[in-house]
Amino acid sequence: MISFSRLWAVFRKEVWQLKRDRMTIGMIFGIPIIQILLFGYAINTDIRWIPTVVMDSASTQSSRNLISDLEASQVVKITGYVQTINEIEAQLRTGKVSIGLVIPADFERRLQQNDRAAAQLLVDGTDPIILASARQLTSLQRHQDTQKTQAPSTLFSVRHYYNPERRSAVNTIPGLIGVILTMTMVIFTSISLVREREKGNLELLINTPITSNELMLGKILPYIVIGFFQVTLILALGVWIFNVPIVGSLAEIYIVAMVFIAANLTLGLLFSTLAKTQLQALQMAIFIMLPSILLSGFMFPFSGMPVVAQWIAELLPLTHFERLIRGIMLRGASLSELLPELLALIGFMLITLWLASKRFHKRLD
Which listed range, 9-17, 122-130, 238-246, 339-347, lies at the site for other proteins (CB under 8 A)?
A: 9-17
Binding to other proteins by residue 363, rule CB under 8 A?
Answer: yes
Q: Which of 111, 176, 210, 333 is close enough to bind other proteins by CB under 8 A? A: 210
Bridge-based pairing state of the strands 50-56 and 99-103: parallel
Among 73, 120, 136, 208, binds other proteins (CB under 8 A): 208
Question: CB–CB of 174/239 below 8 Å?
Answer: no
Q: Which of 77, 167, 331, 362: binder of other proteins (CB under 8 A)?
A: 362
Quick check: 354 and 217 in contact, CB under 8 A?
no
3 state SS of 184: helix
For other proteins, the binding residue among 5, 68, 232, 277 (CB under 8 A) is 5
How far, in Å, CA of 9 to CA of 179, rounded?
Answer: 31
Q: Does 277 bind other proteins (CB under 8 A)?
A: no
Question: For the residues of 71-95, what is the DSSP string, one character each?
Answer: HHTTSEEEEEE-SSHHHHHHHHHHT
Half-sphere exposure at residue 71, Cβ-oriented, CA atoms within 13 angstroms: 13
Nearer to other proteins, 21 or 89 (CB): 21
Name residues contacting other proteins, limited to 223-242 (CB under 8 A): none
Q: Tell me the β-bridge partners of 122.
A: 100
Site for other proteins, residues 35 to 94, rule: CB under 8 A = none
Smallest separation (angstroms) from other proteins to the CB of 183: 24
Among 65, 74, 207, 232, binds other proteins (CB under 8 A): 207
x/- binding map, residues 175-204, to other proteins, per CB under 8 A? Answer: ------------------------xxxxxx
DSSP alpha helix (H) spans, the chain:
4-20, 22-42, 61-72, 85-94, 107-113, 128-147, 168-190, 192-199, 201-205, 212-242, 250-274, 278-295, 307-315, 317-331, 339-359
Stretch that binds other proteins, among 6-14, 48-56, 58-66, 167-175 (CB under 8 A): 6-14
From the list 42, 151, 290, 364, which residue makes contact with other proteins (rule: CB under 8 A)? 364
What are φ and ψ of residue 360, in 5° steps? -85, 120
Q: How many CA atoms are closer than 13 Å to the CA of 85, on its beta-carbon side?
A: 8
Rounded distance between C-alpha atoms, residue 356 and residue 365, angstroms: 17
Q: Which is nearer to other proteins, 10 or 288 (CB)?
A: 10
- Minimum distance from residue 197 beta carbon to other proteins (Å): 11
Binding region for other proteins (CB under 8 A) out of 8-16, 108-116, 334-342, 348-356: 8-16
DSSP 175: H
How many C-beta neighbours within 10 Å does residue 254 have?
Answer: 14
> Least distance to other proteins from the beta carbon of 184, Å?
20
Q: In terms of CB distance, is 214 or 341 closer to other proteins?
A: 214
Residues that bind other proteins (rule: CB under 8 A) add up to a total of 29
Give least dist CB 12 to other proteins, A.
Answer: 7
Q: Interacting stretch for other proteins, rule CB under 8 A, among 67-75, 150-158, 205-213, 305-313? A: 205-213
Query: Taking a C-beta distance cutoff of 8 angstroms, is the pair 218, 10 a contact?
Result: yes
Q: Is 154 helix (H, G, I), strand (E, B) or coil?
A: coil
- Report residue 56: phi and psi, to 5°: -100, 95
Residues that bind other proteins (CB under 8 A): 3, 5-6, 8-10, 12-13, 16-17, 20-21, 199-211, 362-365
